[in-house]
Structure 1
Amino acid sequence: MTDRALDTAAASYGLRQRLAGVPVLVWIALTWLIAMVAVALLADLVSPYSYTAPNLRNRLVAPGHPLHWLGTDELGRDVLSRLIASIRISLLIAFGASLMSAVVGTTLGFLAAYFRGFVEQLVLMLADFQASMPFLIMALAVLAFFGSSLPLLIGLMGLFGWERYARIARGLAIAASAQGYASAVTQLGASPTRVYLKHILPNIASTLIVSMTLVFPEVILLESGLSFLGLGVQPPMTSLGNMVGYGREYITRAPWIMLAPAMTIVVTTLAVSILGDWLRDRLDPTLR
């Protein structure tokens, strides 16, 4: 065999070894999350009906009906179609808010690590203030005063958990700056922006990604709680928490209206948590 063929065979064998070392539970969690993302992206194609179309002749049809696999709600709307639309909105809010939180927190952490002194103390003070304030109460107050809209909801959720990223980014950036590669690049004339974005950020990205997987399920639960209380996603738009909130009034007569989105919330947050724990164990050298 040629050297190239040997290298290819060795790489293939190493990949199979790494895949074989992934726990079955992680594979199940990853499969579920991929399915959720696929449903969100293809919602218009896979949805059997319009999620807003009522049919009063088919009110509260039980699951198992050939035309309504998950039944219908109090207005005759197909629960499966509403569930698919709710997954799209809930994942949009969760992804958007988690990404915004990571960007805000990492930026403030880098600013604290670079400027130190007053800027560092200010960022840490804001982080302590954010951590000490009950975010749900603050979110309820903001949404009750300004009203609820999807951009406002995503922006508000984006302020959740930023202090975790700020603390992590600050600590890791200070440690990286003390190492030789950051000092060498600085002495070669690189700007602070290039040093932090091109050299420090890639080295701490794995830790930030793990932190994002831990914040993501909390954002889903927070959005679900706000929508359950009537201050999150507003009709005609729907979300998982919104479905649970409206379904609670029919829990004795038609429990499937509430159970379908509730189980989706539980399984999705559990899957993200399992994947985050596994990534933390794989990427953190102190746990190896």
Structure 2
Amino acid sequence: MGKVTETATGTRETTKHRRIPFSVIASVLWIVFIVIVALLADGIAPYQYTALDLPNRLASPLHPHHVLGTDELGRDILSRLIVSVRISILVALGATLISACLGTTMGFAAAHFGGRVEQFILMLADFQAAMPFLILSLSVLAFFGNALPLFIGLMGLYGWERYARIARGLAVAASAQGYAGAVRQLGASPMQVYLRHILPNISSTLIVSMTLTFPEIILMETSLSFLGLGVQPPMTSLGNMLGYGREYMTRAPWIMLAPAVLIVATTLSISLLGDWLLDRLDNGPR
């Protein structure tokens, strides 16, 4: 009886531990919804996001022809919101992938070469962490312009030092375990060792780091677009919509409220998912 009771208790504890919180399920559903909207933006937008409807300018939400109202030029808020989601997700996803690839490569290089190369990479990481990225972005965009590829590349420099430190630390730990050295003795090249053996073992940690960096890049893009140095017309983004809507906060608050709510919901969902993945990674299966 005692063993049966202990088994039942252990089963309940395991089931409780593996139960996914409702907040995480809601976050995943919201993220999937946002991705679908971004992929199908052209097909589901009721109007062209640049189409003008001057007779209905500053129309309030629940208008017969404009569900979320219109802006100062009569452009449909819902249509602009849908297209803005695609642009903002494109910028954030591209920047996150660039940051992860750059940081992981630098971390592997530091772990492999060591010595002065490692010291130099760690010095660059410290400099990046100490430099206010918003100030750096404002300087670069003001000097070189703000074409979309340049903007995505600049955002890709955000947070690379985190991936570099994580990749370096985990690569050193993996090498200390012996399997990397054993594979190297079998004739594998350093690139094969890092890409085929070390990277798969640390990929879960890097993915969690990406989920935590992704919402930060969305907020950074929003800040720069809000200041007029991000995505430029005729393209639109969530931060771009916020920037235009600030002049009409008292007369037409829905212009600014719609993208603001979407930004908060998206970044919160990704953060909750990242925190849950981080907790699962730290605790491990039980």
| 1:119 matches 2:117 | yes
Q: Which amino acid aligns with 2:258?
A: A
Where does 1:101-180 land on structure 2 (aligned, <5 Å)? 101-180=99-178
Aligned to 1:90: 88
Structure 2 distance, partners of 1:30, 1:218, is 18
Gaps of 5+ in 1: 1-16
Q: Which amino acid aligns with 2:172?
A: I
Q: Which amino acid aligns with 1:268?
A: T
Report the alpha carbon displacement of residue 180 of structure 1 after superposing the two structures with TM.
Answer: 2.3
Find 1:261's aligned residue among 259, 262, 267: 259
Structure 1 distance, partners of 2:66, 2:73, is 13
- Relative to the length of structure 1, the TM-score reads 0.92
Aligned to 1:75: 73
- Relative to the length of structure 2, the TM-score reads 0.93
Aligned to 1:283: 281
Assess, with a 3 A threshold, how the Cα gap between structure 1 residues 56 and 19 changes in structure 2: closer, same or farther.
farther
The alignment partner of 2:233 has SS state of: coil
Assess, with a 3 A threshold, how the Cα gap between structure 1 residues 287 and 215 changes in structure 2: closer, same or farther.
farther
Gaps of 5+ in 2: 1-14
Find 2:206's aligned residue among 205, 208, 211: 208
Where does 1:20-39 land on structure 2 (aligned, <5 Å)? 21-39=19-37
Structure 2 distance, partners of 1:276, 1:75, is 39
Structure 2 distance, partners of 1:129, 1:122, is 11
Identity rate, percent: 71
Structure 2 distance, partners of 1:271, 1:42, is 21
The alignment partner of 1:284 has SS state of: helix
Report the alpha carbon displacement of residue 19 of structure 1 after superposing the two structures with TM.
Answer: 11
Q: Which runs of 4+ in 1 moved over 3 A?
A: 17-20, 285-288
Assess, with a 3 A threshold, how the Cα gap between structure 1 residues 22 and 286 changes in structure 2: closer, same or farther.
closer
Structure 1 distance, partners of 2:211, 2:16, is 21
The alignment partner of 1:53 has SS state of: coil
| 1:99 matches 2:94 | no
Aligned to 1:7: none
Structure 2 distance, partners of 1:18, 1:190, is 43
1:281–1:287: 8 Å Cα contact kept in structure 2?
A: no
Report the alpha carbon displacement of residue 147 of structure 1 after superposing the two structures with TM.
Answer: 1.0
Report the alpha carbon displacement of residue 18 of structure 1 after superposing the two structures with TM.
Answer: 9.3
The alignment partner of 2:70 has SS state of: coil
Report the alpha carbon displacement of residue 152 of structure 1 after superposing the two structures with TM.
Answer: 0.6
Report the alpha carbon displacement of residue 20 of structure 1 after superposing the two structures with TM.
Answer: 6.7
Structure 1 distance, partners of 2:57, 2:284, is 56
Q: Which amino acid aligns with 2:168?
A: R
1:40–1:88: 8 Å Cα contact kept in structure 2?
A: yes
1:13-37: CA deviation from partner (whole Å, max 9, x where unpaired): xxxx699711100000000000000
Assess, with a 3 A threshold, how the Cα gap between structure 1 residues 200 and 20 changes in structure 2: closer, same or farther.
closer
1:251–1:258: 8 Å Cα contact kept in structure 2?
A: yes
Report the alpha carbon displacement of residue 66 of structure 1 after superposing the two structures with TM.
Answer: 2.5
1:56-110: CA deviation from partner (whole Å, max 9, x where unpaired): 0110110011211100000000000000000000000000000000000000000
Q: Which amino acid aligns with 1:80?
A: L
Aligned to 1:57: 55
Find 2:272's aligned residue among 264, 271, 274: 274
Find 2:196's aligned residue among 195, 198, 203: 198
Aligned to 1:4: none
1:51–1:85: 8 Å Cα contact kept in structure 2?
A: yes
Report the alpha carbon displacement of residue 283 of structure 1 after superposing the two structures with TM.
Answer: 1.6
Structure 2 distance, partners of 1:264, 1:58, is 24
